């Protein structure tokens, strides 16, 4: 029994050993000085294993030129993670890549130590003319330091920040003191009733809150102008006190208007305490009664000549205060805008306009068309294209971790976004066998991808594609609308999707721009005519 137990333990650890395995290789055993060779580390792991590859600028005496993204290959329940490093050395000799540590679930595994021969470059000085070293030539003036630009930029940013802060504080203070800027109780009541509709409480189904605020505004006005305890009274007590005050102050208010106001108070009580649900037209009718009744009360209030003159003077004073407040706010906003514009100008002068456009503003399609273009090779099977900007790898981890069994790799490269003046997305798919996709099916999938990115109202036309180099495929093109969150509006876009298929691989190309942008159309045409395909690796 004990012997069997040890046998189970042995089998268990051998299973773990087979589930987690590290292998190391290099793609060349010797290089010339400064040339790059690749170190490849492969880790065979399970789906839930956490793997940490080495991350250093140097492996021993070898310099790491580039650490490439991890490639993933799924094999049944196992995953093979492939990590590549570009290495070099600028002195001749034989060098060893030391044993490196790969962590799997916090457990350390070491790689094999490998050797690389770095050959010197032979220089024949007998056939090359040699020259003496020239003397140092002094320049007319020393180059100026750039530190002051950063100092000015920092000062301007701080000033802009303080300016914005004081503007916000001023607006908050103005909002807090808003009640003081009403010349009379009726002006305040009318303003509050107008703002009540802007809250859209009824549209959100908050009818009880709507009636509560509406009657509270009316009660507050009556309490301030007629001088009765309206806020503390029930509806019947309020009406009794109001009739008494109208009689004592000899105010002209008809019984019909009082009866309508009484009906609104009763409706409000039913909504608040009996959960009544009035119709939309009934709510609007009650709101109209309140608006009219408060104006009737205000007109009926007896005022002496002195009170009327004081009220008029108060109105003039408040108008002047509002004017001064507006001028102060406009001046503060203007200063902040000027400081911000100067800050942007200094920033552009210090770091260059190209840096500003590259990282913050972006390029117009005219600038993209006229700037120097870049020819690069992307993905597997590789596609060679010429673009105004380098496409950046943008792989989706969920897709990479759930590849179909016959798919070797899917790579995605992009520039810009769907709401930019111009953007492009390139997707390459490599199969493990000689599978060739159906182009029509691929186009359908690409249109769904366009919807996923935010496209609506897509108009589709399809044609056969052929560029000036004789490359053929299938193209879908048309227009769609998308919501621009920055401008808070829909914008019309044009698109073209080109699909190429071959045994063992496929390439899909999205080109998106604003509708009727002639420069973007020229960019699309130039890119499509530059396309070259590499054959899928078997």
Query: What is the biggest distance separating any 2 CA atoms in the chain, rounded to whole angstroms?
Result: 124
Alpha helices in 143-234 (DSSP H): 147-176, 185-198, 207-225
What gap in Å lies between CA 287 and CA 267, rounded to an integer?
Answer: 11
Q: Could you say which of 283, 302, 321 is where a domain stops?
A: 302
- Identify the domain boundary among 287, 302, 317: 302
d(CA 303, CA 305): 7
Q: Assess whether 384 and 501 both reside in one domain.
A: yes
Q: How far apart are CA 524 and CA 505, in angstroms?
A: 23
Q: Does 308 map to a domain?
A: no
Question: Do residues 101 and 203 both lie within one domain?
Answer: no
412 & 520 share domain: yes
Closest CA to 45 of 430, 401, 380, 396: 401
Q: Are 283 and 397 within one domain?
A: no
**Secondary structure of residue 501 in the 3-state scheme:** strand
CATH of the domain at 500: 3.40.1000.10
Residue for token pair 């108009």: 459
- Number of structural domains found in the chain: 3
Mark whether 84 and 191 lie in a shared domain: no
Same domain assignment for residues 401 and 493: yes
Tell me if 409 is assigned to some domain: yes
Same domain? 524 vs 430: yes
pLDDT, tens digit, for every residue of 215-266? 899 888 888 888 888 888 888 888 888 888 888 888 888 889 889 989 989 9
| Residues 412-468 pLDDT 10s | 888 877 767 788 888 888 888 887 888 888 888 888 888 887 888 888 898 988 888
Per the domain annotation, does 49 fall within a domain? yes
Asked if 253 and 373 sit in the same domain, the reply is no
| 244 and 115 both lie in a single domain | no
Of 260, 219, 250, the closest CA to residue 237 belongs to: 219
Distances (CA, A) of 321 to 4, 179, 317, 458: 95, 13, 6, 54
Nearest-angstrom CA–CA distance, 37 and 17: 30
Q: DSSP string of 88-141?
A: E-SS-EEEEE---EEEETTEEEEPPPEEEEEEPPP--TTSS---PPPPPPPPSS
Provide long-range contacts, Cβ within 8 A and 24+ apart, for 126-129.
none
Residue 284 lies in domain: 179-302
pLDDT means over runs of 10, the chain (538 residues): 44 45 89 90 88 89 90 83 91 88 89 88 59 57 52 64 62 52 76 86 88 90 84 87 85 88 90 87 90 86 63 62 71 70 63 51 72 83 84 77 82 80 85 82 85 85 84 88 77 88 84 85 86 70
- Co-location of 378 and 521 in the same domain: yes
* CATH code of the domain covering residue 237: 1.20.120
Residue 173 lies in a domain: no
Considering the entire predicted model, what is its pTM? 0.39
Same domain flag for 380 and 481 = yes
At 83 the pLDDT is: 92
Does residue 88 lie in a domain region?
yes
Q: Is residue 105 part of a domain?
A: yes
- Domain shared by 200 and 67, yes or no: no
Q: What pLDDT shows up at residue 332?
A: 66
């Amino acid at each position: 029994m004990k012997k069997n137990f040890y046998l189970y333990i042995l089998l268990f650890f051998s299973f773990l050993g087979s589930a987690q395995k590290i292998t190391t290789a290099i793609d060349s055993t010797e290089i010339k000085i400064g040339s790059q060779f690749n170190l490849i580390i492969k880790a065979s792991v399970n789906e839930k294993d956490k793997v940490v590859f080495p991350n250093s600028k140097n492996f021993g005496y070898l310099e790491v030129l580039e650490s490439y993204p991890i490639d993933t290959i799924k094999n049944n329940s196992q995953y093979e993670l492939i990590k590549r490093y570009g290495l070099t050395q600028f002195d001749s000799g034989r060098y060893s890549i030391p044993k490196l540590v790969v962590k799997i679930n916090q457990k350390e595994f070491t790689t094999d130590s490998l050797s690389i021969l770095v050959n010197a470059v032979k220089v024949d000085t007998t056939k090359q003319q040699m020259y003496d070293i020239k003397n140092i030539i002094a320049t007319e003036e020393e180059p100026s330091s750039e530190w002051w630009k950063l100092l000015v930029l920092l000062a301007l940013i701080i000033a802009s920040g303080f300016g914005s802060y004081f503007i916000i504080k001023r607006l908050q203070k103005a909002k807090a003191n808003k009640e003081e800027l009403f010349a009379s109780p009726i002006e305040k009541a009318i303003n509050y009733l107008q703002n009540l509709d802007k809250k859209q409480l009824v549209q959100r189904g908050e009818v009880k809150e709507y009636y509560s605020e509406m009657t509270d505004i009316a009660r507050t006005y009556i309490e301030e102008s007629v001088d009765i305890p309206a806020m503390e009274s029930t509806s019947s007590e309020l009406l009794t006190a109001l009739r008494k005050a109208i009689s004592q102050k000899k105010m002209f208010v008809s019984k019909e208007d009082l009866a309508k106001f009484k009906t609104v108070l009763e409706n409000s009580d039913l909504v608040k305490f009996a959960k009544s649900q009035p119709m939309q037209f009934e709510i609007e009718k009650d709101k109209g009664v309140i608006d009219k009744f408060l104006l009737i009360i205000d007109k009926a209030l007896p005022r002496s000549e002195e009170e009327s003159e004081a009220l008029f003077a108060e109105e003039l004073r408040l108008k002047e205060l509002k004017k001064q407040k507006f001028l102060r706010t406009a001046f503060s906003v203007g200063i902040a805008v000027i400081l911000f514009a100067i800050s942007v100008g200094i920033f552009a002068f210090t770091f260059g306009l190209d840096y500003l456009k590259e990282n913050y503003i972006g390029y117009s399609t005219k600038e993209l068309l006229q700037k120097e273009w870049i020819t690069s090779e992307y993905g597997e099977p590789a596609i060679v294209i010429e673009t105004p900007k380098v496409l950046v790898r943008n792989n989706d981890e969920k897709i990479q971790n759930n590849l179909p069994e016959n798919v070797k790799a899917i790579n995605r490269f992009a520039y810009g976004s769907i709401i930019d003046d111009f953007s492009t997305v390139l997707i390459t798919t490599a199969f493990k066998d000689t599978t060739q996709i159906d182009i029509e099916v691929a186009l359908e999938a690409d249109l769904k991808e366009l919807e996923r990115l935010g496209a609506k109202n897509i108009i589709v036309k399809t044609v056969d594609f052929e560029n000036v180099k004789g490359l053929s495929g299938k193209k879908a093109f048309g227009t769609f609308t998308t919501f621009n969150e920055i401008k808070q509006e829909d914008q019309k876009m044009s698109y073209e999707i080109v699909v190429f298929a071959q045994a063992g691989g496929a390439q899909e190309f999205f080109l998106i721009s604003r509708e009727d942008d002639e420069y973007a159309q020229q960019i699309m045409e130039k890119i499509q005519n530059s396309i070259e395909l590499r054959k899928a690796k078997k």
